[in-house]
Amino acid sequence: MAVARQDQFNSMDYSDPMVNRILDAAEQCIHRFGIRRTALGEVARVGKLSRGSIYRYFDDKAALVQGVFWRRQEFYLNQTEAALVKLPTLVDKVTHSVVSGRKDMAQGIFASLAETEPETVAMMFLESKFYQRSVSFWPPHVRLAQEAGEISEAVDVAVATDFIMRLAVSLVTFPDMGLSLKSRKGIRAYLDQVITRGLG
Amino acid sequence: MAVARQDQFNSMDYSDPMVNRILDAAEQCIHRFGIRRTALGEVARVGKLSRGSIYRYFDDKAALVQGVFWRRQEFYLNQTEAALVKLPTLVDKVTHSVVSGRKDMAQGIFASLAETEPETVAMMFLESKFYQRSVSFWPPHVRLAQEAGEISEAVDVAVATDFIMRLAVSLVTFPDMGLSLKSRKGIRAYLDQVITRGLG
DNA sequence: AAATGTACAAAAAATGATTATTGTTCATTG
DNA sequence: CAATGAACAATAATCATTTTTTGTACATTT
C-alpha cells in the first residue's frame, strides 16, 4: 500500500514535499497531454524523481490522477472559502461560489482536459463523490445565516446545505436551463428569489 | 437533405410509419449493441428495410441516433405529462417527475447505453439541449399553481420554470448531494420546503 | 413517388504484430 | 530509511494493414 493513501475519510498529506512534487509534475503532464497520454515515466522525468517514488506514494496511475484533481479542487475550495467569509449574506456567498466555480472550471487542468478528453470530465461531473468535499464547506455558512435571521432556524442545516449545493452545481454546470443566467447580477437576483423566498 | 429533418423548432414526424420503423429498429440495435457497434446495415436488416431509406429520412448516423433519443424522451415526457395533469399541486408534480425520471433513466435504452457507453450518456446529460424539451412542459403548470395560490403570482414564470427544472434535473441525476433523497416521501417533503417556502 | 438495391470512394473500425507503459520486486545509493 | 534505478512479466498503446461501414448516386422495383 502506498504512503499517501487517500480515501473519503483520510485525506492526502499536502505538507509532504514529495507528494507535492509528484502532484505538480503529474498536473503539468495532464495539463499538457491529457490523462491517457501521460506516462508515469514522463511524470518522473518532469518532477525529476524516480518512477519508484511515485508508486511509493500512490497505489497506481488512477490514484495519482485522482490525487491531482483532489488537490486542485481543495485549492479552489479554500480560495473560494477565503472569499466567502468576507461576504455578508448567504445569497452573496452562493452567488460568488457560482461565479468563481464557473471561472475555475474554465481554467487550468479542468479546461484543458475538457478539450482533450471531454468524456472523462463529463464522468467526473456526474459522480456525486466529486461534490462531497464542497458539501462540507457549507454548514457553517448556513448556521451563520440562520443566526443572522437571513434564513429560518426551522430548516434543517443538512437540507439547506443540500439545496444550496444543488443550486450551485446546477448553475455552474448549466448557464442556461430555460433562463439564461450569465451575469453576476442576474445570478444574484435569481438566487435571492429562490433561496430567501422560494416560489411561495 | 433528409425528409425527417429535425431541429429545435421543427420536430420529427412520429406519425410517419416509415420514420417509426426506422427508429424502432435503430433503438433495438442501440439497446442491444450500443451506438458504436450498430451499423446502419444492421438497422436496415432488423427493420426489414433498405439502407437507402434510412438515409432518405435521416441525414446521417448521428441524426438517426439523436432521433431515437428524442423520440424516447418525447414518449417519457408525454407519459409523465399525462400523470401530472391529475396531480393537485406543483410540489406533487415535481415529486412525480423526479421519481418517474429516475425510473425512466434506469430502464431501457438509457440504462443499457449507460452500461456499454457511460461516457456517451454522461455527455448527453451535460448538454443543456437535452433538457430543452422538458423545459417547455412546465410553464402551464407554473401558471396553474399561481392561479391556485400555491405559489406567488409575482414570480416570473420563466424563473419558476428554470428553478423547477434545475431541482428536477439535480434530483434525478444525484440521489445524494449530502442529503440522501431516495423515497418519494423524502423527496416530496424536501421539494415542499424549497419550492413553497425556500429557506427564508 | 417512395422504397429498394447496387456500386462506389472516403472514412472508420477490426485485426494482428510491435513497441511502450504499468505495476512489482529488489539490490544499491545517499 | 527514503529514494533510486534496473529487471521483469503483464497490460496497454501504437501502427500499418485489412475489412467494414458510411454517405452518395443512381438505375430498378413496387
CA nearest to nucleotide D3 C1': residue: A53
Q: Within 10 Å of residue B21's Cβ, how many Cβ atoms?
A: 17
Identify the pLDDT of residue B101. Answer: 98
The per-residue pLDDT for range A131-163, each reduced to its tens digit, is 999 999 999 999 999 999 999 999 999 999 999
Q: How far apart are CA B45 and CA B33, in angstroms?
A: 14
Segment A113-120 mean pLDDT: 94
Asked if the model's pLDDT at residue A89 lies above 90, the reply is: yes
Rounded CA–C1' distance between B62 and C15, in angstroms: 26
Place of cell 464522468: A123
Identify the pLDDT of residue B113. Answer: 96
Nearest to A197 among B128, B171, B198 (CB): B198
User: What percent of chain B lies above the pLDDT cut of 70?
Assistant: 96
Segment B9-38 mean pLDDT: 91
Asked if the model's pLDDT at residue A37 lies above 80, the reply is: yes
Nearest to B194 among A131, A163, A171 (CB): A163
Asked if the model's pLDDT at residue B4 lies above 70, the reply is: no
**Residue B29 vs residues A35, B32, B58: alpha-carbon distances, Å:** 32, 5, 16
Nearest to B163 among A125, A126, A199 (CB): A199
Q: Smallest Cα–Cα separation from A31: which of A89, A117, A101? A: A117
The per-residue pLDDT for range B115-158, each reduced to its tens digit, is 999 999 999 999 999 999 999 999 999 999 999 999 999 999 99
B143 touches strand D (CB under 7 A): no
Q: Tell me which chain A residue has its CA closest to the CA of residue B186.
A: A159
Cβ-contact A6, A21 below 8 angstroms: no
Residues of B with CB under 8 A from a CB of A: 90, 118-120, 122-123, 125-126, 128, 131, 135, 145, 150-152, 155, 158-163, 165-167, 169-171, 173-179, 181, 190, 193-200
Residues of chain A with CATH 1.10.10.60: 12-70
Backbone angles phi, psi at A148, to 5 degrees: -80, -5
Q: How far apart are CA A163 and CA A141, in angstroms?
A: 13
Q: How far apart are CA A49 and CA A25, in angstroms?
A: 10
Identify the pLDDT of residue B10. Answer: 57
Residues of chain B with CATH 1.10.10.60: 1-69
Q: Tell me which chain A residue has its CA closest to the CA of residue B180.
A: A162
Cβ–Cβ gap A123/B126 under 8 Å? no
Asked if the model's pLDDT at residue B12 lies above 90, the reply is: no
Q: How far apart are CA A114 and CA A123, in angstroms?
A: 11
In the three-class reduction of DSSP (H, G, I as helix; E, B as strand; rest coil), residue A176 is classed as strand
Rounded CA–C1' distance between B110 and D25, in angstroms: 36
CATH of the domain spanning A12-70, picked from 3.30.479.10, 1.10.10.60, 3.40.50.300, 1.10.390.10: 1.10.10.60
Q: How far apart are CA A97 and CA A103, in angstroms?
A: 10
Identify the pLDDT of residue A12. Answer: 79
Which amino acid belongs to residue A46?
A: V
DSSP-assigned letters across all residues of B9-21: SS---TT-HHHHH
pLDDT band of B31, cuts 50, 70, 90: very high
Which uninterrupted H or E stretch holds B59? none
Cβ–Cβ gap B197/A195 under 8 Å? no
Which amino acid belongs to residue B66?
A: Q
Nucleotides of chain C in contact with protein CB (under 7 A) are 2-6, 13-14, 20-26
Identify the pLDDT of residue B6. Answer: 58
The per-residue pLDDT for range A163-178, each reduced to its tens digit, is 999 999 999 999 999 9
**Residue B66 vs residues A59, B30, B74, B138: alpha-carbon distances, Å:** 40, 11, 12, 23
CATH architecture of B1-69: Orthogonal Bundle (1.10)
On average, the pLDDT of chain A sits at: 95
Rounded CA–C1' distance between B175 and C20, in angstroms: 42
DSSP-assigned letters across all residues of B98-160: HHHHHHHHTSHHHHHHHHH-HHHHHHHHT-THHHHHHHTTHHHHHHHHHHTTSS-TTS-HHHH
Q: How far apart are CA B153 and CA B194, in angstroms?
A: 17
Asked if the model's pLDDT at residue A5 lies above 70, the reply is: no
Q: Smallest Cα–Cα separation from A200: which of B71, B92, B146? A: B146
B119–chain A nearest CA distance, Å: 5
ipTM: 0.93
Quick one: CA torsion of B121, B30, B27, B97, rounded to 10 degrees? -20
> For A71-94, b where at least 16 C-beta lie within 10 A, e where not — what string?
bbbeebbeebeeebeeeebbbbbb
pLDDT band of B43, cuts 50, 70, 90: very high
Q: Smallest Cα–Cα separation from B63: which of B19, B97, B21? A: B19
- Cell readout for B130 is 437535452
Rounded CA–C1' distance between B47 and C9, in angstroms: 27
Cβ-contact B6, B63 below 8 angstroms: yes
Q: How far apart are CA B157 and CA B153, in angstroms?
A: 9
The per-residue pLDDT for range B93-103, each reduced to its tens digit, is 999 999 999 99
Identify the pLDDT of residue A3. Answer: 73
